[in-house]
Amino acid sequence: MSGISRRHLFRVSGAGLLTLASGSALGACTGSGSPSAAGGDADTGKVTVWSWTTAAEALRGVVPAFEKDNPGITVDVRDVGNPAIWDKITVGMASGGQGLADVLHIGCDYFPGYVEKFPGGLADLSALGADAHKDRFAKGLWPTVLDEDGKARAMPWEVNPLGFFYRKDMFDKAGLDPTAFATWDDVIDAAEDFTSANPGAYLIGLNKPASPGPDCDFLQSLMQLQGAFYFDLDGNITLASDEAVRALTIVKRLDDAGLIGDSSGEQGWSKLVSADKVAVSPLAAWAAHYMEDQFPDQSGKWRLTRPPAVTDGGKRSAIVNSTYLTVAGSSPRQKAAWKFVEYALTRPRSMNDMFDSGGVFPALSAAYDDPMYAEERPYYGGQAVLRTFTELLDDGADATYYSGDYARALKLASDAQVKVLVKGGDPQAVLQDAAEQLAQQTRRSLA
């Protein structure tokens, strides 16, 4: 109750009345969409950071050293939860950027939306000196943080190269060696051997009805392996491209072969994995630690290899996603905020500390020199899985353009996948529908 006082209450309703009485009420508030409302470049003060769960914890670990090296700046890292953080950033941006923290942790999926739909919502980091670091991150990553004028609006923190985790014990039983799978066709061809040796088990777990949320990571990574996505780099819609149809067809064929288990419902995927019903996790680098933490009983059973290609001779690496730290355009202390971002993300030491405590795979290439990447991990039968991931990154990956309409595209792609998996739809037809709807809703053109 301490936070409220009578005087405060009165002042507030008084303010409201005045606004109304002035007759410009509508203009006053909806007009406050002007972005850089209170932006400033103070280089001291208290920097607030919004992040989520383990990443927030990891970031907190950097704070004491930073505060010691930068007198005059204090940092407050808040774990505002994921997905709650998106609603909060969105509403903050919609309100002209006010009320946001100084530093925001943003994923590559939401980032272009914020940049495109809320110009000035995120500070221009190039002006603060970010460009000095542009060659220091994993290949293909820097272009994704630039706005249309080539200014950096974010610094890469986490990068996620796609991997192919598999249960060696289950494949051994079927006499199969997943490292020999060159394409997904090879995987599908092995269906019979796999299922007869592992009755009741599936290759992968997928939330078929997308309940309660979309489960398109697998579909997306199949597109990304072909260097494609829902949009091309010019922002045109490629949701019905040959690559997309090929990707969804693979999902359908896997399902037809009985290789996809339904992981819908509360913690469905974890439950399938715990019950030894899933032999492959087509997940990215973040999962290296996650699997160890989440399924300790399966220690020694998992291995990691390169993902199979979609087409013969096709690429066998992809960056499936990444996350960034950004500075809010409304922050009155952008310099101080930038100092913290730079401190946390451009020094191998802090990046690896955060990786260690939060499982956030560093985007900073120099970080990979650390001996921890060569470490043989007993959980993976002594395999140095982190090295495998850094090698996957060395292949270079195509930039994926998420566009400001990613959320809508994801929704429609998910609907298309559900139609195929639940209602037996034809991949080509459902994607064509989805692409047309996306064009109608976003006024983007079909590529």
Residues 280-299 that bind another protein (CB under 8 A): 290, 294
Residue 423 touching another protein (CB under 8 A): yes
Identity of the amino acid at 132: A
Q: What distance in Å separates the CA atoms of residue 266 and residue 273, rounded to the nearest whole number? A: 13
Of 64-72, 92-100, 331-339, 379-387, the window that binds another protein (rule: CB under 8 A) is 92-100
Residue 424 touching another protein (CB under 8 A): no
In degrees and rounded to multiples of 5, residue 179 shows phi and psi of: -70, -15
| Choice from 44, 70, 74, 95 touching another protein (CB under 8 A) | 95
Residue 99 touching another protein (CB under 8 A): yes
Q: Please, which residue, 226 or 321, has the CB nearer to another protein?
A: 321
Residues 207-246 as x/- pattern, contact with another protein by CB under 8 A: -xxxxxx---------------------------------
Q: Please, which residue, 196 or 441, has the CB nearer to another protein?
A: 441
Q: What is the DSSP string of 40-82?
A: -B-SSEEEEEEE-HHHHHHHHHHHHHHHHHSTTEEEEEEE--T
- Do residues 48 and 333 lie in contact, with contact meaning Cβ atoms separated by under 8 Å? no
Residues 43-72 that bind another protein (CB under 8 A): 50, 53
Residues 10-39 that bind another protein (CB under 8 A): 12-13, 15-17, 19-20, 25-26, 28-30, 32-35
Question: How would you label 173-192 residue by residue, b for 16+ Cβ within 10 Å and e otherwise?
Answer: bbebebeebebbbebbebbe
3-state secondary structure (DSSP) of residue 129? coil
| Choice from 39, 81, 107, 381 touching another protein (CB under 8 A) | 81
- Do residues 329 and 99 lie in contact, with contact meaning Cβ atoms separated by under 8 Å? no
Q: Least distance to another protein from the beta carbon of 344, Å? A: 21
| Look-up of token digits 């199979």 | 308
Q: What distance in Å separates the CA atoms of residue 417 and residue 403, rounded to the nearest whole number? A: 20
In this structure, how many other beta carbons lie within 10 angstroms of the beta carbon of residue 132?
Answer: 10
What are the CA-CA distances from residue 190 to residues 256, 260, 283, 425 (Å)?
A: 13, 14, 20, 24
Q: Least distance to another protein from the beta carbon of 151, Å? A: 16
Q: Please, which residue, 179 or 294, has the CB nearer to another protein?
A: 294
DSSP state of 444: P
Residue 181 touching another protein (CB under 8 A): no
Residue 445 touching another protein (CB under 8 A): no
| Look-up of token digits 């249309």 | 148
Q: Least distance to another protein from the beta carbon of 292, Å? A: 13
Residues 112-141 that bind another protein (CB under 8 A): 113, 117-121
Residues 396-415 as x/- pattern, contact with another protein by CB under 8 A: --------xx-xx--x--xx
